[in-house]
Structures are given as structure tokens and as C-alpha cells.
Amino acid sequence: MPRTTSAIQSELKQKRPFRSSQQEAALALMRTADVVRRRIAGVIEPRGITLQQYNVLRIIWGAGKDGIPTLDIAGRMIERTPGITRLLDRLEAKKLVRRKRCPTDRRQVLCWITEPGLRLLEELQGPVDQADHMAIGSLAVGDLERFIGLLDAVRQEVK
């Protein structure tokens, strides 16, 4: 029995079947990630920062009062970027973060969130939570837990 056209096949207007189920799943995952990213970016970017800058602010905020080294921020990013220094330059220019050389290890630069950075995160919390819910809220709790587990398994295999 011929397989029916999948949603991703229709969205991409692909006439031919995918080469494999793995290819179809990978493309569906990338397309879904793009849709979710655009939804959340639509909430964040009107506030004058990018999704990556928002991610950096959340990481620095989570580090607490001791600050966090620049390289640790880069390692925690959702989307890896080679330009962490440029991201921090832009956030510092907007007065959302501050940086200082570590007094015990001059090779390290420590970062902290500023009061304006904290206020921005507080203002974005509700709208970002809503965007998350709109993006993934159609999944039931059990489905959501399975989905998270499947995504974890994919990331562990690909690392």
C-alpha cells in the first residue's frame, strides 16, 4: 500500500518521497525548530535584542551574583555561536550586562547581568512563556514527556 503524503512533505511541496524515514524526520525536526524559533523571536526581537542575546542574558542571570566566565556562556548556548564576544559587546553597549577580568585568573572575563538586563528578562518572561505554550501547548503531558525524551535521544546520538 502506498504511503500517504506526510505533513512535512506537503509543507515543503515535495513531490517525490523522502529517501528514508530518517531524512523525513530530520527535515521535520529542522522545520519545526525553525517555526518555534520564529514564534519566540517574534516576541523577543521587538524589544531590541536577538534570540541569541536573550539566551545569553538568561545564562548570565542563571549564574547568579558570582558571575560567569565568557567561555562557560558559549558552552551553554542553545545555538552554538563562535561570536560570543560580539554578542556580549552588543549586550554591554545596551547596558544589559557588564564584564570584568577575573582578579585571580587574568585570562578569564566574568559577566554579570545589570538591573536593566534583569528588568528586560522580567518583562519578557510572560510573553515568552505564552509563546512557548503556543508553540508546544498542543501536546498532552504524556506526549510532551515522550517528545522531550525522543529529542534527548536524538541529541545524544548526534553529539
Q: Does residue 113 sit within a domain?
A: yes
Q: Does residue 36 sit within a domain?
A: no
pLDDT confidence bin for 84, thresholds 50/70/90: very high
Q: Does residue 148 sit within a domain?
A: no
Q: What are the φ and ψ backbone dihedral angles of 68, each rounded to 5 degrees?
A: -145, 135
CATH, residue 112? 1.10.10.10
Residue 64 belongs to what domain range?
50-123
Q: Does residue 23 sit within a domain?
A: no
Q: Does residue 65 sit within a domain?
A: yes
- Which is higher by pLDDT, 60 or 9? 60
Whether the pLDDT of residue 3 is over 90: the answer is no
Distance in Å from the first CA to the final CA of the chain: 36
pLDDT confidence bin for 1, thresholds 50/70/90: very low
Number of structural domains the chain divides into: 1
Whether the Cβ atoms of residue 117 and residue 102 lie closer than 8 Å to each other: no
